[in-house]
């Protein structure tokens, strides 16, 4: 699933291609997306048609297409597991699994392609009041600071891995970058979050280092993720623990372990990340 660095990479690639361009029509395949939900085509047309794209922003793992006008309206896109966004000429054949298309003035189309249909595309009327966005925690790169993180850790009962994955606490982290951050911080994933208050600064630094590395290498491609140009990211070969079970730790040489927590894989070094 795309996490903050992948979404940020897509936003950076997309913004110069769509900013300032008018949306002429919106098309939907008729197939349900996330949880089989229908796309609110009438709602998308109401916010988008006839307006220009004012900006493309990221909020956690969400992509926000802001449109011109005073209402703060726009389109909210979540890529789910396999969602992709591409800007292509209308004359280019649409890829299989194309589900939502915004036709742009000048002949290009912004296309949402999603093979597994876990993603979604919804109107934000306005964006700021969308319940999914309103419930998101601070952005770890631009909003979260050490005092706020320390307060949140102090009041938490969850293990640190679950704490960092909770989008209400911090927006944008997923399984890959949490594993990398906890390795960088030397913290075992099952450590109770509240016990890390004294190491808040190091933890925040590790989270940022893992995310910034991911952005610098234009995202982690394990299977499906590609950027707005259709290219895979380079971060997979820079991963320190994620997906490296049985391989030697880059720091100490111990074998990286993989365990399952609630059905999700956790990767860590048993020597560098002691309980
Ligand atoms: Zn190690």
pLDDT digits (tens, 9 = 90+) for 85-141: 999 999 999 999 999 999 999 999 999 999 999 999 999 999 989 999 999 999 999
* Overall average pLDDT of the 224-234 stretch: 93
Active centre residues (catalytic): 2-3, 61, 264
* Overall average pLDDT of the 162-180 stretch: 97
- With a CB cutoff of 8 Å and minimum separation 6, the contacts of 198 are none
As a whole number of angstroms, the distance between CA 273 and CA 265 comes to 16
Cα(105) to centroid(ligand 1), Å: 54
Q: Which of 13, 84, 63 lies closest to 172 in space, CA to CA?
A: 63
pLDDT of 44 strictly over 90? yes
E-assigned strands of the chain? 23-28, 53-59, 62-67, 74-78, 83-89, 98-104, 108-114, 120-124, 257-261, 264-268
Are the beta carbons of 59 and 139 closer than 8 angstroms? yes
pLDDT of 223 strictly over 90? no
Are the beta carbons of 175 and 164 closer than 8 angstroms? no
- Average pLDDT, whole number, for the chain? 96
Cα(182) to centroid(ligand 1), Å: 12
Cα(223) to centroid(ligand 1), Å: 26
Q: Which of 172-181, 197-206, 220-229, 234-243 has the lowest mean pLDDT?
A: 220-229
- Assign 193 to helix, strand or coil: helix
Cα(272) to centroid(ligand 1), Å: 4
Query: Where is 47: in which H helix or E strand?
Result: helix 41-48
- With a CB cutoff of 8 Å and minimum separation 6, the contacts of 48 are 23, 26, 65, 67, 75, 102, 123
Cα(256) to centroid(ligand 1), Å: 7
Cα(202) to centroid(ligand 1), Å: 17
pLDDT of 169 strictly over 80? yes
Name the percent of the chain lying above pLDDT 90.
95
Residue 212: other Cβ atoms inside 10 A: 13
- With a CB cutoff of 8 Å and minimum separation 6, the contacts of 50 are 22, 23, 24
Query: Edge-to-edge strand order for the sheet containing 120-124?
Result: 53-59, 62-67, 74-78, 120-124
**pTM of the predicted model as reported, rounded to 2 decimal places:** 0.95
Are the beta carbons of 148 and 170 closer than 8 angstroms? no
Are the beta carbons of 271 and 180 closer than 8 angstroms? no
As a whole number of angstroms, the distance between CA 202 and CA 221 comes to 27
Are the beta carbons of 165 and 157 closer than 8 angstroms? no
């Amino acid at each position: 699933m795309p996490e903050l660095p992948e979404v940020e990479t897509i936003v950076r690639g997309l913004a110069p291609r769509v900013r300032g361009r008018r949306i002429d029509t919106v098309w939907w395949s008729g197939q349900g997306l996330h949880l089989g939900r229908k796309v609110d085509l009438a709602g998308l047309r109401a916010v988008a048609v006839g307006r220009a794209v004012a900006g493309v922003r990221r909020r956690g793992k969400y992509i926000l297409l802001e449109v011109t006008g005073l209402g703060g309206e726009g389109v909210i896109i979540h890529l789910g597991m396999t969602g992709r966004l591409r800007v292509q000429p209308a004359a280019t054949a649409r890829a299989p699994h194309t589900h939502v298309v915004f036709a742009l003035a000048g002949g290009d189309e912004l296309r949402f392609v999603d093979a597994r249909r876990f993603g979604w595309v919804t109107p934000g009327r306005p964006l700021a009041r969308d319940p999914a966005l309103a419930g998101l925690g601070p952005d770890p790169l631009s909003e979260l600071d050490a005092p706020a993180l320390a307060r949140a850790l102090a009041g938490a009962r969850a293990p640190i891995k679950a704490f960092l994955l909770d989008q209400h606490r911090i927006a944008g982290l997923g399984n890959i970058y949490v594993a990398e951050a906890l390795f960088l911080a030397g913290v075992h994933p099952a450590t109770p979050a509240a016990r890390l208050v004294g190491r808040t600064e190091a933890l925040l630094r590790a989270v940022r280092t893992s995310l910034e590395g991911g952005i610098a290498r234009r995202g982690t491609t394990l299977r499906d993720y590609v950027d707005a140009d259709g290219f895979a990211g380079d971060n997979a070969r820079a991963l320190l623990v994620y997906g490296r079970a049985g391989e030697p730790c880059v720091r100490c040489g111990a074998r990286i372990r993989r365990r399952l927590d609630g059905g999700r894989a956790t990767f860590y070094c048993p020597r560098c990340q002691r309980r």
